[in-house]
Amino acid sequence: MADTKQKITVEDLCRITLVEDPRISPDGAWVAHVQVTVDRLDNGYKRNIWLTRLADGKTLQLTRSGKDTQPRWSPDGQTLAFVSARDDKSQVYLLPITEPGGEARALTALPNGATSPAWSPDGHWMAFLSPMNATERAKEDRREEDHKPADKLDAKQRKERRDQDESQRWDPRPAWRIPYRSGTSFLSDRFNQIYVMPTTEGLDKDQSRPRRLTSADADHEAPQWTPDGQFILTARIGNPQGDEPWRWSNLYRVRVADGSHEQLTDETFSSFNPTASPDGRWIAFVRLPRERLSERMSRLAVMPSAGGEIRDLNLAFDRAVYQYKWSPDGSSLYFTCANAGRLELYRVDPDTGTFSAAASGEIHIETFDVHPQAGLVMNVSTPANPSELYHQPASEPHARPITQINQKFLDSLIVQPIHELRWKTTDGAEIQGWYLLPVDYEAGKTYPLALNIHGGPHIMWGPAMKSMWHEWQLHAARGYVAFFTNPRGSDGYGEAFQMALHSQWGTLATGDILSGVDALLERGFVDPQRIAVTGGSYGGYMTTWLIAHSDRFVAAVAQRGVYNLLSFSGTTDIVSFVQSEFGMDPWEDPMFLWESSPLAHAHKIKTPLLLIHGENDFRVPIAESEQMFTYVRRNGGTVRLLRFPREGHEMTRTGEPEHRIATLTHMLEWFDRSCYPQTDSVDSKE
């Protein structure tokens, strides 16, 4: 069997199925979840909702539109709500589960769509989000409605007119707050508002009409009901006219009866994602200190529902919180956290602050759900498998896979094991990294090295990293030792480790990374004359910083990188990021920020450099790569720029499949040109 297995190829990226958003049914028998597959024909992705039975792993496909997400069980387990974009705009649908032959019906029909459905505790109401601007809200308040179209032609003409009017409304496009663009799109004057509406079918028009509870010109977070059904918890910027909402987010409690609201937190911290405990005693949420916010460890906090002292539960634990949920009895909070290369699950008692591990090991737990009898269900990636659904019964200490979504695909491939490496830097810091040996590795031979550098800079990589699983295995299949590290600044090692990078992005990380390369060279299987480097975002910054300050690399691929801190600080959608990371604004010490930018040293780059960037990247605009290309080219360096239309900062993770394939293909060809020159797989045009 082993002899028939094949090396992983670039095209295998399209064979991977990902699991998202598991939700356990109220009776604990089933898990609803989303499966994501690549659609090569449309150069996109399909998302459909599936059910998996916990008793035996039997899996059933529930929806087939390819545009279905966010499954949410009704409290009685009779109905599954979900969001679908099957008819142009995303709307909330209801699907009966217990009766055979049930068909989903659209609960909402809002002009701008609806997302984030949340059942009321009694199941009679649905809360959700829908974006509306001030004019639309005023029209809605007056109960003004457009007449139904006379026929299909009338409907078509109306839609064309609306689209044309909307286009003209933004020509020219004004900007009046920061950010005014994000992701791959310009922001509009529509903001997510919270609505509620009854879920009962057959009501008259007035009874079934959605009722808006909020009106601020600010995006509200997904609604969360309190156990008594009287209130909805949410978060938004306190001052709707302010900039950068993520820096000024406050918690609010909205009364369902009349939409009156109460602010629960101040702006000392930026607070998000409030959830009431099942017994109603507590409100849990995540918050960040505003000072040096981007570098800080996220805190899991609780406050009494009736008001009182706010307590941070994870400070002594010294690990950041990602997703969290209350236990069904309210006695503890489950949360995922980054910990030394793993994304594990822990629980904490809100009264005592006592921690214990709930699910740990060489895993990345992306999301999870918890049930009083069924226990835990998680979507998990491991070093051997990029995505499966795992179940840990309430009575058992370990989780096990209950799906084999990718198993047939993986059984046909050679999957390389991942090895851990730890080393000390010259100043005594311990750094963790991992490597994969090439397929067909033979002891005594040396191989080229593909050094991978993560972005953030405050994220964490580990051997079970879903978004990098295929790429690292591909490097090994192509004959490279794949190597990746978590230098200082990374999450997963405590807040002091994470904040150590402040104002020294390039200088500190250089020692951490290169000492890791040296530690790997001591193993004897890496050819020191064939070392390539790549990274994205901050990893792109470090890729160009390294090749401007070291001659040990023979090839470099820098993706969507920050190369000029001065220009980046004025064009990104996170304009205060540089101030947070370096302790200064550009006008305060421009020379320091310039000298801290790879672009200032671009004239020294002699390593062949491939730059990859999305043309619609509003996190790190493409001007960063345009400048780097020009500076290196004008100084006689070997450089090429690949511009990907329509793509943003997430291209290599969620971009068009053909663009992701092209990125990997060009990267490996660029590496091969210097590390395996006999293949000569890159054309010679410069």
For 90-148, what is each residue's pLDDT tens digit? 999 999 998 655 789 999 999 999 999 999 999 999 999 999 999 999 999 998 888 88
Q: Which tens digit of pLDDT belongs to each residue from 623-667? A: 999 999 999 999 999 999 999 999 999 999 999 999 999 999 999
Q: In angstroms, rounded to a whole number, what is the distance separating the alpha carbons of residues 210 and 559?
A: 45
Residue 685 reports pLDDT greater than 50: no
**Dihedrals phi, psi of 38, to nearest 5 degrees:** -85, 135
By C-alpha distance, which of 328, 332, 329 is closest to 356?
A: 332
Q: Which tens digit of pLDDT belongs to each residue from 359-391? A: 999 999 999 999 999 999 999 999 999 999 999
Band of residue 88 on the pLDDT scale cut at 50, 70, 90: confident
Mean pLDDT of 463-475: 97
Q: Which residue blocks in 322-432 are alpha helix, DSSP H?
A: 407-411
Q: Which tens digit of pLDDT belongs to each residue from 247-268? A: 999 999 999 999 999 999 998 9
pLDDT at site 205: 87
Mean pLDDT of 607-632: 98
Residue 1 reports pLDDT greater than 80: no
Band of residue 679 on the pLDDT scale cut at 50, 70, 90: low
Poorest-pLDDT segment among 91-105, 544-558, 662-676 = 91-105
Mean pLDDT of 170-175: 94
358 touches 347 (CB < 8 A): yes
User: Burial level of 448, CB count in 10 A (0-12/13-18/19+)?
Assistant: buried
Mean pLDDT over the full length of the chain: 95
Mean pLDDT of 18-42: 97
Band of residue 3 on the pLDDT scale cut at 50, 70, 90: low
User: Burial level of 421, CB count in 10 A (0-12/13-18/19+)?
Assistant: middle
Amino acid at 533: V
Whose structure tokens read 């922001």? Answer: 187
pLDDT at site 99: 64
Q: What is the pTM of this model?
A: 0.95
Residue 207 reports pLDDT greater than 50: yes
Q: In angstroms, rounded to a whole number, what is the distance separating the alpha carbons of residues 535 and 488?
A: 16
Residue 89 reports pLDDT greater than 80: yes
- Percent of the chain with pLDDT strictly greater than 90: 92
Amino acid at 671: F
pLDDT at site 684: 36
Asked if omega into 172 is within 30° of 0 (cis), the reply is yes
Residue 526 reports pLDDT greater than 70: yes
Mean pLDDT of 511-524: 98
pLDDT at site 443: 97
DSSP 603: G
265 touches 286 (CB < 8 A): no
609-614 and 555-559: which strand pairing? parallel
Q: Which tens digit of pLDDT belongs to each residue from 151-163? A: 989 888 988 898 8
666 touches 612 (CB < 8 A): yes
Residue 228 reports pLDDT greater than 90: yes
Mean pLDDT of 471-495: 98
Sheet harboring 282-289: ordered strands across? Answer: 269-276, 282-289, 299-304, 311-312
